[in-house]
Structure formats: structure tokens, C-alpha cells
Structure 1
Amino acid sequence: MKKLFSIALAATMALSLAGCSGNSTASTTAAADTKAADTTAAAADTTAAAGGESTSSYEPSGTLTIIVPYAAGGGVDLGSRLLAKYLSEATPVDVVVSNVAGGGGTVGAADCLKYDADGSYMLALNPSPTYVSTKDKPLTFDILKDYEFAAIMVQDQRLFVTSAKNTNFQTVEEAIEYGKANPGKFNIGCSGTGNSAYATAEEFLEKTGIEGNVVPFDGSSEAKSAVLGGHIDVAVQSLSDVSSSMNEVTILATGGEERFSKTPDVPCMTELGFPMAQYVTRGYAFKAGTDSAIINYWSDKIGEVCENEAFLKEADSLGLPIVYMNHEEAQEDAKTEMATYQEKFGDK
């Protein structure tokens, strides 16, 4: 059963994270104290069918590395670092984050598969059109076959934002008027290509009738920097992407079918006459073949963290809408989302 946590959005927060781009790798230790590698904690007996052959218990030790397949500073990165902090406190292992950016997430997803399926590496994985393999964009892996979801932690809405200093427009209506008056010059940025952010940007242009360009970046933090710098007109973001810059951006609209509870004063595109249903699901997965006891251990621990009041408060300050799904629920949700993306973006 999904556990929904309604959290009031903090209006402004001070947060500064250095971004990185390209196919770079940067690791950050999330725990304050180093824990002995031989410290163990037994998980409850489990008989889950998914994953590798199950043992009766799991005793974690050493380090768990969360691979974030995007540049530092974006919503996935922020959420993963926060999760790493609380998992380090709740378990006998150190949990660290490693950014492996590139290919809209595919570089990091492929990188994680090079490690043994022993529970030492966990991928921050978002069901997305990015992971639909096509003749034009063949992938060497299948996220539903090569990965096993442990949990979903966040469900967010897409936001269309511009700089608060943009003198050309500050509403969707004004943006449409400006875009149509300048055909071919309107630029909307997003993180990556062939993913849900890119599809959202394309849909914005299509639904509004603006003749413009989709400009991809390595991560959402780069797209935000570009829109704040006036290099693009609009950026597709999530709430966590812009939560540290609320005084610098104007949220023109959200991409959902209804107004977003976190931004109740911001209209959704659907109510403005441009039907959309653009959401972001963020989860964590292990390489297929990982012992199901390991997967269920971390699924349960993520669930416990998602009930921690201190964690929820920090997640709120980062603009992260926490919606926890356990291992089985996350697997089903991922299958449903990927089936939709396959039908829409796969080879016909």
C-alpha cells in the first residue's frame, strides 16, 4: 500500500550544491561517522520471489554506494544524498553517493551493471522514456530485466519555470504570445534527451503551438542555471530542482492534470486548456540476481526512513514529495510506466 506523506512546502531555503556535467563521477560520503565493516544487523526472514535466491537473513556490512545517473545538484541527487544520510544512521553501513552522469541517465545505469549483484551498489532509477531501447537509440540493458526495484521514494510533478527577471513574460499566456511572435527562437530546456523531461518539453511546444526548440542539458541543475542566466526561455524542472531558488524563478505552470498540492497557487497546464499528465517517479533498484533478502532489507529500511519525522522535514525543505512504495509495489509501478513509454516511444 502506498504511504502518502503530505508535507507543507517551505517557501525558501538556502542550499548550494556544486554542479557537475558530462560523464563524470563524483563520490560523497553521506554518513558523518565511519562504521566498522564487520558490523552486522540481521534482517527479518523473507521469502520474496523477486531477485536472486533468497537466504533466511541478511547481514549488511561495509559500504552501500548509491549511483545517481545525473549531475549533482538536481532533484534525484538531492533526494539520494538525503536518503544516504538517514540510511547511514539507520543501518550499520556507510551509504555514499556517486554521480555518474550522461546519456540522460543511461550511462550511470549501464555503469551500475558492471558490479557484482551483492547489494553493494544501488541505482537511483526513474522509469522513463530514456530506458526505451529503439533502433535509433539501442541500449545494452533493459531496466525491467536487468534491475529489481527496491522502492519508490518520490512522486513529483513537472514544472515549467522561467527566470523571475525575465522581462518577456511571467505567465504561460505571455510565454505563448512571446513564442508565437518569435517563431523558431523560443528555447525550452530540460535534463537529457529521450526521457520524460524531454517529452514534457516537446509536449509543451506541441500543445501551446509554439514553434521552438528543446535544448537538452546533462542535468536539471544545468537547465536551471541556463534559464536563470537568460540563455533559454523556459526550463522543465521538478520542485526539488528549484526549491533552493524560489526567489529567482517564476513557476509558470505545473504539468499535471490537477494543481500540485505543493504549489496550490500555480495553475496546471490542463486547467489552462493544454491537457497534460507529466509526473516524475523516483526510485532505487539493485542489479537483477541480487538476493531477495538484500532487496527487501533495503526496501524496508527506505520505508522506515520515509516515516522518520526529521527526514520528512528535510525532504519538505528540499521540495521532495515523499510517496513510498515497497519492493513489490515499486516493481508493478515501474512495469506500468515502462509499458506506457514503450507504447509511446518504442519502435512501431
Structure 2
Amino acid sequence: MQRRDALILAGTLAAPAIHAQEAFPGNRTLTLTVGFAPGGVGDMVMRQLSESARAKRGVQTVVDFRPGAGSALSLDRIARATPDGTQVALGSVSALWIIPHQQQLGYDPRQLTGLGQISGHPLAVYVKTDSPLRSWADLLAYARSNPGKLSWGTTGSRGFAEVLVEAAFRHEGVQTSTVPFRGGAEAIASMMGGHIDAVASADFGPLLAQGAVRLLAETGPNKVPGHPDVPTFRELGYPLSDAVAYGVVGPPGIPRQAVLWWQEVIRETTQDPAFIEALRRIYAVPDYLDAEAYTRAIRDGYARFGAALRG
């Protein structure tokens, strides 16, 4: 009996150690937070990642929407989460590179754990196809003739699109009215309803394929696939012209085992034909960076845009 009791006690004491060494994530549910309203590009990216994790790894996942402040609210929440790797968030360039320079936030993007970059997206200024504004030159001419009257929507106040496009308008010496929304779907609905004149976002893909919108300019350095006639901000000589990318971030201090697990799931997702096709439909492409490279990109972008905003 004494030997049996000793074995039971030894097994009980060993249980925590065995659990600690269990492969991540074990039987825990993973929460993927999206800082934009449902229906936009960020929603699609994280749902695809969620599906990939379930299908390829057999884990339980939940997509949680926490829109607000250009997705900065979601990163503020993630920064305070338990750093065990079970809670991650969509990393947007707005919330990582720009908004922290403009607001007092509860997170420092340089301290977040970068888990991997997943996709690259064109971000365009666009209008309805029945708009009288048929080109970027038309839009500028209208803005010059009607100071402050041109209204255009973005996916969040003082986010990436707003900073880039406003810098272009300042360069051109025109005054416009910016209208921030909680996500691209809401901004598009307002434009399609005739409440605003244009939208600057990465959410135009389905409407462009349907012929419902017309692209006037691409804010990044690269052409929109299949639309070589749409000028880029780099071609136009504007002071800011950067590519849009989405990645996945977590709180500071995530264990290495969890970082490597997420990194591999992100890499697998970028190679998934279903994900590649979903991106193609919105004129985007897989753009994988591993955890180390993505963390470096976060810090580099934060420093670069901080300098640009101060200058």
C-alpha cells in the first residue's frame, strides 16, 4: 500500500511538469481579435487564418471583433492579455506605425510580439462608377474649386489611409473633409448611399470586380493588379507612399514555443490555395514574413512614420 501511495503521489507531482511541456496550444481555444467591424479585409484575413488553424491543426478558434480607433483598441486589449499565445490580434499598419505617435495608448507596438506577416494589399482612393469624378485629376480639380466640400471616408480616425491621403492633399494644396468609420464596409456603405464622395481603403475588391466602383489612385508604391492606368502616389511624387500589410501580433513575452507555432500556421495559411484565391479576389497577395522579420518590420515602420509625422 505504501508503494502504491508513493506512485500515486509521484504521478500527481509530475502532472504539472507534463502539462507545462505539452505542445502548444493543447486543448485551449485560441482567440483571434480583429480591430475592425465585420465585413472588411481584416475580417477576411483573420477568418482564413482561423479556418486554417482549425483545418490543419485541429484546434478550436474564435474570431472576436473589437473595432475602434483604427484597430488600436484591439491592440490595447491584446497588449494586456495573458502572454500564453492563446490570444492574438490582427496587426494593421495604422495601429502599429501611426496611431501610437498621435494618441496616448496602453501599448507600445515595439513591445508587442510579432508572430508573422500574412498579406499585402493595395489601398486605393475610389468612387462609385456613376460618380462625375473619373480620374484623380478630376478629384483634385473638384476639390480646388470647392474647398472643404469633397468628403471621403476611411477605416479609422488618423489611420494609415487618412495620413497618406491627407499628405497627398496637402502636397496638392487642396482642402477636403475626412469622415472616419469603424471599418471599410461601413465607409463603402456610406459612399454607395451617396453620403460621401469617395473612400480610401483596401476593401474595394468585390465592388471593383462587380464594376460598382472606379479606382482613382493607389496610395502605395505598386500598381493595383490588372489596373496599370491607376496612378500610384509614388508616381505622383507624393511625400508618403507605402504598401499596406496585415500580420498577427500578441502580447509581450509569449513563449517561444507558441511563437513558432503561430509562425508556422501563418506560413501554411499563405500557401493555402483557398487563401490565395480569396486574396486574388480582392487584388491582394500573400506576403509572408516570419516572426523575427515581422517584428523588425513593425519597429522599422513605427520609426519611419514617426519621423515623417514629426517632419
Change (3 A) 1:149 1:130: same
Question: Is 1:209 aligned to residue 177 of structure 2?
Answer: no
Shift of 1:133: 4.1
The unaligned stretches of length 5 or more in structure 2 are 1-19
Matching residue of 2:47: 81
Cross-structure match for 2:155: 191
What does residue 9 of structure 2 align with?
none
Contact 1:257–1:276 at 8 Å: present in 2 too?
A: no
CA distance in 2, matches of 1:314, 1:133: 33
Aligned twin of 2:60: 94
Per the alignment, residue 100 of structure 2 pairs with 132
Contact 1:155–1:323 (CA under 8 A) maintained in structure 2: yes
> Alpha-carbon deviation of 1:122?
0.8
User: 1:156-195 alignment to 2 at 5 Å?
Assistant: 156-166=121-131, 168-195=132-159
Query: Match of 2:166, SS?
Result: helix
Distance 1:228 1:104 in 2: 21
**Counterpart for residue 76 of structure 2:** 110
- Cα pair 2:220 2:244 within 8 Å, conserved: no
TM-score by length of 1: 0.77
| Distance (whole Å) between structure 1 residues aligned to residue 214 and residue 170 of structure 2 | 22
Relative to its length, the structure with more helix (as a share) is 2
Count, aligned residues: 288
Name the counterpart of 2:192: 228
Look up the match of 1:250.
Answer: 214
Distance 1:263 1:292, change over 3 A: farther
Q: Which aligned pairs between 1:1-348 and structure 2 lie closer than 5 A?
A: 57-128=23-94, 129-134=97-102, 137-145=103-111, 147-166=112-131, 168-238=132-202, 241-246=203-208, 247-272=211-236, 274=238, 276-345=240-309
Partner Cα distance (1:101, 1:291) in 2: 27
> What's the CA shift string for 1:245-275, capped at 9, x where partnerless?
1121100111123423353342223334546
Work out the CA distance in 1 between the residues paired with 2:99 and 2:114: 14
Structure 1's unaligned 5+ residue stretches are 1-53
Aligned residue number for residue 26 of structure 1: none
Q: Per the alignment, in what secondary structure is the counterpart of residue 283 of structure 1?
A: strand
Q: Separation in 2 of the partners of 1:71 and 1:109?
A: 14
| Distance in 1, Cα, partners of 2:248 & 2:116 | 6
CA distance in 1, matches of 2:262, 2:72: 23
Measured after TM superposition, the shift of residue 312 of structure 1 is 1.3
Task: For residue 55 of structure 1, report the CA deviation from its aligned partner.
Answer: 6.5
Deviations 1:178-197 (A, max 9, x none): 11111121112211122211
Task: Supply the RMSD in Å over aligned alpha carbons.
Answer: 2.2
TM-score, scaled relative to structure 2: 0.85
* TM-fit CA distance, 1:325: 0.5
Looking at structure 1, the residues matched to 288 and 165 of structure 2 have their Cα atoms a distance apart, in angstroms, of 27
Q: Which amino acid aligns with 1:317?
A: R
- Distance (whole Å) between structure 2 residues aligned to residue 275 and residue 104 of structure 1: 22
Deviations 1:80-115 (A, max 9, x none): 112211221011212221110111212111222343
Q: CA 1:326–1:317 in structure 2 vs 1: closer, same or farther (change >3 Å)?
A: same
SS of the equivalent of 2:93 reads coil
Distance 1:211 1:107 in 2: 29
Runs of 4+ aligned residues of structure 1 deviating over 6 Å after TM superposition are none
8 A Cα contact 2:98 2:302, kept in partner: no
Among the aligned pairs, what percent are the same residue? 23
Structure number, greater radius of gyration: 2
Q: Is the 8 A contact 1:256 1:279 kept in 2?
A: yes
Change (3 A) 1:271 1:345: closer
